[in-house]
Chains A and B, each alone.
Chain A
């Protein structure tokens, strides 16, 4: 009867040694993204609980402009698309195409952020700031945190473009870029939940 764990017998993937670095890095970043989504889920839960507690103040029906939200959604969707095309371009070492895609991603992301800041400023000016009611506190915390993520993503993209320009498409630059595109696509997923729960259900 053969020994179960014969030392020279390869059994399963672990017998091939450690996974390549790019897979370990992307998997670790995937775990981070999931934990980030779990953090968002707590804010989603508090928004869902508090969305009716307007304390006599304005409700979502009075405040939300769906045309505004639709344009924001389009900005994020198309920036996700150009981000994906940019990842394909840099994988094939087409630097010019990559720069073009990165610029478009940056522009669309900045447009989204500009629209969101305009919306927030308008709400605060109309007396519907985060201190007005529990509903508005939850709204600003949830949507604002997504906006902070988008801002960090834009900053990150600027750094990545600078790294590609300064150091070329080296392995570690490509790994970081890959993590960036995962981050950007994950933000889009969070925005879908936001659009549905906050804007579409809230303005009914």
Chain B
């Protein structure tokens, strides 16, 4: 590792200050609009196979979050961004545990719950 290594870059900062940054934001807006329109198309019209719609919507939403992270928050895969990406990865892990874990546990609780009629039977 050479001593002249660039310092880390802050999230949201464009380290190179390239001329095309307005173009970057515009591209991000364009992608975001396209993905939003696609979400509404998938969710609102009956064009798609209904059981597949939630998965499609989830994929589109995750894609749009990626667009926002890359084009608006300037999170990149460069070596100066390692800290930001690691923090993001940890956040995603915790969010996944909280949401996935809650759903998993609650759905199983519902499935294992005794039907109300049977519970009433046992009380008498």
Q: Which residues of A contact B (CB under 8 A)?
A: 10-13, 15-16, 19-20, 22-23, 25-27, 29-31, 34-35, 37-38, 41-42, 44-46, 48-49, 66, 70, 73-74, 77-78, 80-81, 84-85, 87-88, 91, 178, 181-182, 185-186, 188-189, 192-193, 195-196, 200-201, 203-204
Interface, chain B (partner A; CB < 8 A)? 1, 3, 5, 7-13, 17, 21-22, 25-26, 28-29, 32-33, 36, 39-40, 42-44, 53-54, 57-58, 60-61, 64-65, 68-69, 72-73, 83-84, 87-88, 90-91, 94-95, 98-99, 101-103, 106
**Which residue of A has the minimal Cβ distance to B7?**
A19
Tell which of B9, B57, B90 touches A200, judged by Cβ atoms closer than 8 Å.
B57
The distance in angstroms between the C-alpha atoms of A31 and B57, with both chains bound, is 28
Report whether A84 and B13 are in contact in the complex, using a CB–CB cutoff of 8 Å.
no
When the two chains form their complex, are residues B57 and A49 in contact, meaning their CB atoms are under 8 A apart? no
Q: Which residues of B lie under 8 Å from residue A186 when comparing CB positions? A: 73
Q: How far is the CA of A182 from the CA of B7 in the complex (A)?
A: 20
CB distance from A32 to the nearest CB of B (A): 11
A-B contact pairs, 30 of them (CB 8 A): A15-B3, A16-B7, A23-B7, A26-B10, A26-B11, A27-B8, A27-B10, A27-B84, A38-B91, A38-B98, A41-B94, A41-B95, A45-B99, A45-B103, A46-B102, A48-B103, A49-B102, A66-B43, A73-B36, A74-B36, A77-B32, A77-B33, A80-B72, A185-B68, A192-B61, A193-B61, A200-B39, A200-B42, A201-B54, A204-B43
A11 touches B1 (CB 8 A): yes
Residues from chain B with Cβ under 8 Å of A25 in the complex: 10
In the bound complex, CA of A50 to CA of B28 (Å)? 34
A88 touches B39 (CB 8 A): no
C-alpha gap A81/B25 in the complex (Å): 7
Counting from the closest, the 9 A-B pairs by CB-CB distance are A26-B10, A34-B91, A45-B102, A200-B43, A10-B3, A196-B61, A41-B95, A84-B25, A185-B72
Docked Cα-Cα span, A31 to B85, in Å, equals 11
Given A45-B103, A188-B68, 13 other A-B contacts at CB below 8 A? A12-B1, A16-B7, A23-B8, A27-B11, A34-B88, A38-B94, A41-B95, A41-B99, A46-B102, A185-B12, A195-B39, A196-B61, A200-B39
Chain B: minimal CB distance from A192 (Å): 5
Residue of B nearest to A44 (CB): B99
Give the chain B neighbours of A27 by CB distance below 8 A.
8, 10-11, 83-84, 87
Contact indicator A200/B40 (Cβ below 8 Å): yes
CB distance from A157 to the nearest CB of B (A): 16
Choice from A13, A78, A88 contacting B7 with Cβ under 8 Å: A13
Q: Which residue of B lies closest to A39 (CB)?
A: B98
CB pair B12–A181 under 8 Å, yes or no, is yes
What A residues does B7 contact at CB under 8 A? Answer: 13, 16, 19-20, 23
